[in-house]
Amino acid sequence: MAEDNLKIMTRDTAILGIAAIGVGFTIITGGIDLSVGSMVGFGGVMVAYLMQEYGWSIWGSVIATLGMGAFIGLIHGLFVTKLKMHGFLITLVTMGLARGFILVITESFPITGLTEEFKRIGQGYVSDLIPIPVIICFVIAMLAFYLLRYTYIGRQIYAAGGNAEAARYSGVNVDRRIILAYIISAVCAVVVGIIQAARMGLGHPGTGEGCELLAIAACVLGGYSLMGGEGTIPGVIVGAMLIGILQNEMVILKVDPYYHKIIIYTVLLIAITIDYMRRRWRTLMFAAVIDSLRQRRE
């Protein structure tokens, strides 16, 4: 029983981790992606729809769905960079549009009849021990870590969130980095949707509801600043693990499910408050140092 519980918890944490890694890119640039939950539902429904309604192969459906996610992320990025619309607004619109779209094409009914081969993506294990979603999360985390830590693109993403104007003066194409961040966020959300469809064995239009806030919570708990310019992949994985452990403990302790969100979002509020106070303290300290240097010169 304990081993099964551990497998379930690690799988759930890995799935949340993928979504959090994606939205973390937008947070680093100083933006936000509120469409993550709806994009999760979109990914799960579309991959099932292409396989069942059009008879596409598994990989053909997966690749096409990922392409749709990338295109939607591109649209988000263009609205943010070219029309100067805050990511909060455009992704809020997409949150409603994507959810409405999948409700229309499914008529509010789940798409069933998915193959066992496809289900293995979400239900299978490597060596009967490691859930496949954990492997997928590990690969995505390693790629994201390398991108942010060891490439000039990653450094420019941090620069775009830390001080966009200074980055522009330094020759950084800030718009491209912001667009890339939104594409990565949308693609990661679609990946989660595909995994969830495989895990449940169906494309459900309600999948992913509330996922965006859990993903943002994982980022904040992992050390990301909602002001932008800060955050690491190891940090977001730790944040996802903390939420996974918290959710698991609430189930074990038989906490009323109605209280789960209250507890999680209270933790999120505390984390956001700590981040805000830390930022404010740093600003005040910097101002004090500047003032002290100025007085010495006088």
Q: What is the DSSP string of 176-187?
A: HHHHHHHHHHHH
Per-residue burial over 98-124, b = 16 or more CB atoms within 10 Å of its CB, e = otherwise: bbebbeeebeeebbeebeeebbebbbb
Q: Which amino acid is at 290?
A: I
Backbone angles phi, psi at 125, to 5 degrees: -130, 155
pLDDT of 3 above 80: no
Task: Give me the CATH code for the 2-258 domain, please.
Answer: 1.10.3470
- pLDDT tens by residue, 5-52: 788 899 999 999 999 999 999 999 999 999 999 999 999 999 999 999
Between helices 211-221 and 2-28, what is the axis angle to 10°? 80
Domain boundaries, given as residue ranges, for the chain: 2-258
What share of the chain has pLDDT > 90, as a percent?
73
In whole numbers, what is the pLDDT of the chain averaged over residues? 92
- pLDDT tens by residue, 255-281: 888 888 888 888 888 888 887 887 778
What Rg do the C-alpha atoms of the chain give, in angstroms? 20
Task: Report which secondary-structure segment, H or E, holds 89.
Answer: helix 87-106
Q: What is the pLDDT of residue 298?
A: 61
Return d(Cα 10, Cα 23) in angstroms, integer.
20
- pLDDT tens by residue, 174-223: 999 999 999 999 999 999 999 999 999 999 999 999 899 999 999 999 98
Backbone angles phi, psi at 234, to 5 degrees: -55, -35
At 289 the three-state DSSP class reads helix
Answer yes or no: are the C-beta atoms of 155 and 144 closer than 8 Å: no
Of 157, 150, 217, 140, the residue nearest 28 (C-alpha): 157
